[in-house]
Amino acid sequence: MSRFDTIIKGGTVVTASEVIEADVGIKNGRILDLGVDLSGADRLIDAGGKFVLPGGIDSHVHIDEPPFYGVRGVDDFLSGTVSAACGGNTTMISFAEQVRGRSLQSVFEEYSAKARDKAVIDYAFHMILCDTSDEMLSTEFPAIVDQGVTSFKLYMRYEGLALDDSQVLAAMDKARECGAMILVHAENDHCIHFIQNRLEREGKTALRHFSESAPQPVEREATHRTIALAEIADTPVLLVHVSAQQAMEQIKWAQDRAMPVFGETCPQYLFIAAEDFDKPGWEPAKFLCTPPPRAGSNQAHIWRGIQTGVFQVLSSDHCAFRFESSEGKKVADEPHISKVPPGVPGIELRLPLVFSEGVNKGRIDLNRFVQIASTNAAKIYGLYPKKGSITPGADADIAIWDPELTRTVTLDMLHDNMDFSPYEGMTLTGWPIRTISRGETIWCDGKVTAEPGRGRYLRRQPGGNRLGPPQAGGERDLNSAA
């Protein structure tokens, strides 16, 4: 019997802290050994001249959710996870959305059934919480934590989802008690309605005014309030899809005081700008998401937040509404700032975008890339060291990258069910060429080999955060350009 099932030979292994020349020996779906000149395997994978990285963990995706703005997203757990795998990802944490009046258990069972026979990579769930009644928090919340759902998203925006401060505090208090993590979409819903009504009166409803409808102070205020509420409840909190310098400064303020406040941003805030909305007709809908992309000058600040550790996680916030469809972005009769479903796709391009424009252009090093792409999410969400690492005993979840491969993004090269990409036409250098999940090659050189349903549900333990309190780097000026 061979010592290894597979050896990945001759590559440069990159982790969150190290860059080493080593072979990786895999046995029974796990990493058995790292070393020089390993031998004794049934299969050899030549990684000469390539980077061997932990598989990506996209910890913020919307897959097969209930209709939003009357529109249902087009990706299910097959197309979503295939697309993720082709982008170098081996784990996905998707949202399971509670609709008011439904039990958390029924929501968990529904999403588990959606994923079970379709997912090709391993997956977990965040629960979207919109009911904070005493019964829900005292009974259902701890019961769902016991089933491995240890993170809960709270909205401060959107009718039917938005919670007030007392509800947020109640959820945070229960999360502290149960060892769960709270995620918050921080935008002040009252301010947005006030501004949108004013724009309506002024006749400024075309999509070029979208960024005006939720300016930076809207996100800054809600971020500040979230941090204060988390401090009062004495619980960690993670601010999702942070778009703006002003919100980022609030997070840094908390981190500089060693408060357990974490930050997440997304590619759309690095590569889409408010200027993209200055197009005629429906075209700006391709770039429309919430919080809205800011002025192009803001992108340098978001990069700086990644560089200095204000942001621990970079996720796609993949939200797949088609463009050329009355059941998608064009659901309204005419383009209107408050009627277009917000969301952009990005699950497959998340990592190539940031590798090309971050690593290859010297904005971040390889270790930081691995941190924000995989390892930090594994630690924050209770998956580490099984996921997010290349160490003996970890799952053999690996992406092999060609740092010199250059490709131009086209719609037909992508594997989601979308009819557009906001990044179409960008030329990127550095792509994953093979994705390995639990020792099995599931995508290689453009061919998907994974069987639907091979992905496994990841049951997480409460109190799983192993990253520790974040500390933003103080040596860099957040106002300087990236």
Distance of CA 213 to the CA centre of its chain: 24
Report yes or no: 383 and 124 within 8 Å, Cβ to Cβ.
yes
Report yes or no: 145 and 180 within 8 Å, Cβ to Cβ.
yes
Q: Which of 379, 285, 326 is CA-nearest to residue 91?
A: 379
Report yes or no: 21 and 12 within 8 Å, Cβ to Cβ.
yes
Residue 269: predicted pLDDT: 98
Report yes or no: 122 and 55 within 8 Å, Cβ to Cβ.
no
DSSP classification of residue 292 = P
Query: How far apart are the C-alpha atoms of 250 and 256, rounded to whole Å?
Result: 10
434 is written with which tokens? 């093979």
Of the candidate CATH numbers 3.90.550.10, 3.30.450.90, 3.40.1350.10, 3.20.20.140, the domain formed by 55-380 belongs to 3.20.20.140
User: Under the phi-then-psi rule, with left for phi > 0, alpha for psi from -120 to 50, and beta for the rest, what region is 218?
Assistant: alpha
Sheet holding 181-185, edge to edge: 313-314, 261-265, 237-239, 181-185, 151-155, 122-128, 89-97, 56-62, 318-319
Query: How far apart are the C-alpha atoms of 37 and 85, rounded to whole Å?
Result: 28
Report yes or no: 173 and 235 within 8 Å, Cβ to Cβ.
yes
Query: How far apart are the C-alpha atoms of 353 and 188, rounded to whole Å?
Result: 30
Handedness of CA 353, 354, 357, 359 (dihedral sign): negative
- As to burial, measured by CB atoms within 10 angstroms (0-12 exposed, 13-18 middle, 19+ buried), residue 1 is exposed
The tens place of each residue's pLDDT in the chain, 482 residues long, gives 899 999 999 999 999 999 999 999 999 999 999 999 999 999 999 999 999 999 999 999 999 999 999 999 999 999 999 999 999 999 999 999 998 889 999 999 999 999 999 999 999 999 999 999 999 999 999 999 999 999 999 999 998 899 999 999 999 999 999 999 999 999 999 999 999 999 999 999 999 999 999 999 999 999 999 999 999 999 999 999 999 999 999 999 999 999 999 999 999 999 999 999 999 999 999 999 999 999 999 999 999 999 999 999 999 999 999 999 888 999 999 999 999 999 999 999 999 999 999 999 999 999 999 999 999 999 999 999 999 999 999 999 999 999 999 999 999 999 999 999 999 999 999 999 999 999 999 999 899 999 999 999 999 999 877 787 787 654 444 444 45
Q: Is 183 helix (H, G, I), strand (E, B) or coil?
A: strand
Q: Which residues pair with 181 in a beta bridge?
A: 151
What is the residue extent of each domain of the chain?
A: 55-380
Query: How far apart are the C-alpha atoms of 238 and 261, rounded to whole Å?
Result: 6
- H-type alpha helices, 155-206: 165-178, 189-201
Query: How far apart are the C-alpha atoms of 70 and 85, rounded to whole Å?
Result: 29
The residue whose two tokens read 């910890």 is: 59
Q: What is the DSSP string of 87-145?
A: TTEEEEEEEEEPPTTS-HHHHHHHHHHHHHTT-SSEEEEEEE-----HHIIIIIHHHHH
How many CA atoms lie within 13 Å of 117's alpha carbon, on the beta-carbon side? 3
